[in-house]
Chains A and B, each alone.
Chain A
Amino acid sequence: MKKAGKRKSKISTKIIYIFLSLLAVIYLLPLLWVIYVSLKDDKTLFVSPWALPERPMIENYTFAWTAGRLGVATLNSIFVCGITLVLCLLIGSMAAFAIGRMRWKLSGLMMTYFLTGMMIPVHCILIPVFTRFSKMHLTNSQAGLILPYLTLSLPITIFIMTGFFQSLPNELFESACIDGCSIYRSFTHIALPLSKTGLFVTGLMTFVANWNELLLAMVFISEDAKKTLPVSLSKFVGPYNTNYSQMFAAIVIAIIPTIIVYCLFSNQIVEGLTAGAVKG
Chain B
Amino acid sequence: MDKLLRDKKAIVVFVAPAFLLFTFILFIPICQSVYYSFCEYNALTKPEFIGLENYKQLFTIDRTMKIALKNSLFFLVFSVVTQLIAGLILAALLTNIKRGRDFFKNVYYLPCVLSSAALGLLWMFVFTPKLGINQILAQFGIEGPLWLMDTKGFIILPMWVIASVSLWQYVGQSMMLYMAQISGISSSLYEASYIDGCTKAQAFRHITLPLIRPMVATAMSLNAIGSLKFFDLIFNMTEGGPNHMTDVLATHLYAQGFKYFKYGYASAIGTVLLVMCLIVTFIINKFVKVENYEM
Contact = CB atoms under 8 A, between A and B. Distances in A.
A151 B22 contact: yes
B274 A119 contact: yes
B64 interface: no
Interface in A85-116: 91-92, 94-95, 97-99, 101-104, 110, 113-116
A241 B257 CA distance: 24
Interface stretch (B6-14, B48-56, B75-83, B150-158): B6-14
Contact of B273 (A37, A121, A186, A267): A121
A112 to B, nearest CB: 8
A49 interface: yes
Q: A interface, how many residues as a size bin?
A: 35 or more
Contacts of B93: 16, 19-20
Q: How large is the interface on B (under 10, 10 to 19, 20 to 34, 35 or more residues)?
A: 35 or more
Contact of A269 (B132, B179, B229, B231): B179
Given A33-B126, A277-B187, A278-B183, A125 B18 contact: no
Given A20-B104, A116-B278, A128-B32, A280 B97 contact: yes
B142 interface: no
A99 B15 contact: yes
Given A119-B225, A167-B181, A279 B190 contact: yes
Contacts of B292: 166-167
B171 to A, nearest CB: 10
A114 B180 contact: no
A126 to B, nearest CB: 8
Given A20-B93, A156-B222, A50 B136 contact: yes
A28 B107 contact: yes
Given A46-B130, A102-B6, A278 B1 contact: no
Interface string A28-52: 1011011001000000011001100
Interface string B100-121: 1111111111111111111001
Given A124-B33, A169-B295, A251-B118, A183 B1 contact: no
A198 B10 CA distance: 22
A244 B130 CA distance: 15
Interface of A: 13, 16-17, 19-20, 23-24, 26-28, 30-31, 33-34, 37, 45-46, 49-50, 91-92, 94-95, 97-99, 101-104, 110, 113-121, 123-125, 127-129, 132, 147-148, 150-152, 154-156, 158-160, 163-164, 166-167, 169-170, 173-174, 177-178, 182-184, 186-187, 197-198, 200-201, 204-205, 208, 211-212, 214, 230, 233, 244, 247, 251, 254-255, 258-259, 261-263, 266-267, 269-270, 272-280
